């Protein structure tokens, strides 16, 4: 009878928390994180641990050293730190602490360190338990001191994201980057007690849709307090990545992460050049399409030699904007929008106010109405000196909004409720 009661209580806890036990979903136990890679790969690597380190190369044991320095050339490794340097051939060196944490460049890491040739340099990989990896992710993706339910939300999203990413960058020797290209990870050096608690209290819980792991993407803050649809940012369709209102974000970020960015026509031309686009000198910038949720989905650059239209998410990335929700205003020569118009009594100069059109562009009207009610054509107006884009939000705007999760937690929502708000139709499984 006692066993039956305990099982019933356990089932009740899972029902109350919105987590399904025993779901058939594969969640790996370990992850390989790229620490130094690509252009950041190191010419030499020094690894130490309080109790010393054990070294192996392609599985062959090379012994123990208090600390060791590694260089490589043509898959030949030179290991220094003992009485004499040792050279050995192999494709991967594995370093395991005899106890405690490993240290590289004054940063500490749990688990093991793997070294992989990268030309004449070395790619450094941290191989560790996913739960321990999350200890070094949550404090950098959110912040210590945020509400516990928000931190738990981040822990579950980050766990799901990394589980879905296993093998993604296998050709480089790891699964995820330690940067915003994947999730920001700082190793044991950045761990915080409340963030570790959030990981431990959600241990093994992931987000699924139809029995499979989801792409649990997230961003800092949504635009205009509303997240976006994946089709309007990256294209395609995912039933759980659709736009939802994000009004509770105002409790954590009242200004909605407001921002402005100003560009001269020359700067716009240079931005296009980086994309190998040449349409001559820029004469106009306009928004041609916007989603129902406010995401700019078509941004057109007008030049002396043609036009170029950036689509969906490129409307943010082409100018390195903080978000995809914004409007445009123009600074015209003549000061404060001074324009020459043909009034009923002849030419006059007036200060013209910009107006927001249906496209969201704060533009210059082609006609004005005088005091006498006469509609007059603009004869001139000078040159556009700059374009100012004004928006809110930070990031791609898909999935969980971190400041929104903060606000929902402050309003009393639990982490499972927060997750199910931002990802439509999902389940939490363990």
In the predicted model, what is the mean pLDDT of residues 48-62?
A: 94
**The pLDDT of residue 347 is above 70:** no
**The pLDDT of residue 1 is above 60:** no
Quick one: pLDDT band at residue 351, thresholds 50, 70, 90?
very low
The CA distance from 178 to 169, in Å, is 12
Structure confidence at residue 201 (pLDDT): 98
Structure confidence at residue 27 (pLDDT): 87
3-state secondary structure (DSSP) of residue 29: coil
- Model-level pTM? 0.84
Quick: pLDDT tens for 288-341: 999 999 999 999 999 999 999 999 999 999 999 999 999 999 999 854 444 444
Listed in sequence order, the residues at least 6 apart from 373 whose beta carbon sits closer than 8 Å to its beta carbon are none
Structure confidence at residue 381 (pLDDT): 53
Structure confidence at residue 17 (pLDDT): 56
What the block records as the tokens of 333 is 């020569």
Structure confidence at residue 11 (pLDDT): 41
Nearest to 297, CA basis, from 378, 230, 218:
230
Whether the Cβ atoms of residue 418 and residue 405 lie closer than 8 Å to each other: yes
**The pLDDT of residue 376 is above 50:** no
Quick: pLDDT tens for 65-107: 999 999 999 989 999 998 899 999 999 999 999 988 999 999 9
In the predicted model, what is the mean pLDDT of residues 117-143?
A: 97
Structure confidence at residue 231 (pLDDT): 98
What the block records as the tokens of 85 is 């340097």
What the block records as the tokens of 319 is 């100018």
**The pLDDT of residue 362 is above 50:** no
3-state secondary structure (DSSP) of residue 362: strand
Mark residue 276 as left, alpha or beta (left: phi above 0; alpha: psi -120 to 50; beta: remaining). Answer: left
**The pLDDT of residue 20 is above 80:** no
Quick one: pLDDT band at residue 24, thresholds 50, 70, 90?
low
Mean pLDDT of the chain: 88
**The pLDDT of residue 377 is above 60:** no
3-state secondary structure (DSSP) of residue 264: coil
Structure confidence at residue 372 (pLDDT): 42
**The pLDDT of residue 359 is above 50:** no
Whether the Cβ atoms of residue 422 and residue 227 lie closer than 8 Å to each other: yes
Lowest mean pLDDT across 208-212, 349-353, 423-427: 349-353
What the block records as the tokens of 391 is 């928006």
């Amino acid at each position: 009878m006692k066993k039956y009661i305990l099982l019933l209580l356990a089932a009740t806890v899972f029902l109350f928390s919105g987590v399904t036990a025993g779901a058939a979903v594969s969640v790996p136990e370990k992850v390989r994180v790229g620490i130094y890679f690509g252009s950041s790969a190191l010419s030499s690597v020094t690894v130490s641990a309080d109790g010393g380190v054990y070294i192996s190369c392609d599985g062959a044991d090379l012994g123990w050293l208090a600390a060791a320095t590694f260089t490589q050339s043509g898959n030949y490794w030179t290991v220094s730190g003992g009485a004499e340097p040792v050279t050995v051939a192999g494709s991967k060196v594995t370093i395991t602490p005899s106890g405690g944490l490993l240290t590289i460049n004054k940063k500490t890491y749990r688990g093991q360190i793997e070294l992989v040739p990268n030309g004449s340099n070395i790619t450094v990989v941290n191989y560790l338990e996913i739960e321990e990896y999350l200890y070094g992710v949550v404090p950098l993706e959110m912040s210590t001191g945020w509400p516990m339910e928000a931190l738990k939300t981040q822990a579950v999203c980050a766990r799901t994201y990394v589980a879905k990413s296993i093998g993604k960058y296998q050709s480089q020797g790891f699964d995820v980057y330690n940067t915003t290209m994947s999730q920001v990870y700082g190793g044991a050096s950045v761990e915080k007690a409340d963030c570790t608690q959030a990981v431990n209290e959600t241990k093994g819980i992931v987000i699924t849709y139809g029995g499979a792991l989801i792409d649990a993407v997230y961003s800092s803050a949504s635009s205009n307090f509303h997240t976006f649809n994946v089709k309007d940012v990256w294209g395609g369709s995912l039933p759980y990545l659709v736009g939802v209102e994000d009004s509770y974000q105002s409790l954590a970020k009242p200004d909605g992460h407001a921002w402005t960015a100003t560009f001269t026509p020359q700067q716009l031309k240079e931005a296009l050049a980086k994309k190998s686009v040449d349409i001559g000198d820029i004469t106009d910038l306009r928004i041609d399409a916007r989603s129902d949720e406010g995401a700019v989905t078509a941004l057109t650059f007008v030049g002396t030699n043609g036009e170029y239209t950036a689509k969906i998410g490129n409307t943010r990335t082409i100018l390195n904007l903080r978000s995809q929700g914004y409007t445009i205003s123009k600074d015209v020569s003549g000061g404060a929008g001074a324009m020459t118009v043909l009034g009923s009594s002849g030419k006059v100069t007036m200060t013209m106010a910009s107006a927001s059109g249906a496209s969201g562009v704060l533009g210059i009207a082609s006609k004005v109405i005088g005091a006498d009610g006469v509609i007059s054509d603009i004869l001139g107006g000078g040159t556009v000196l700059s374009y100012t884009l004004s928006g809110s939000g930070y990031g791609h705007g898909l999935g969980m909004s971190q400041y929104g999760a903060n606000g929902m937690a402050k309003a009393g929502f639990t982490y499972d409720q927060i997750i199910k708000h931002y990802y439509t139709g999902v389940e939490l499984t363990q």
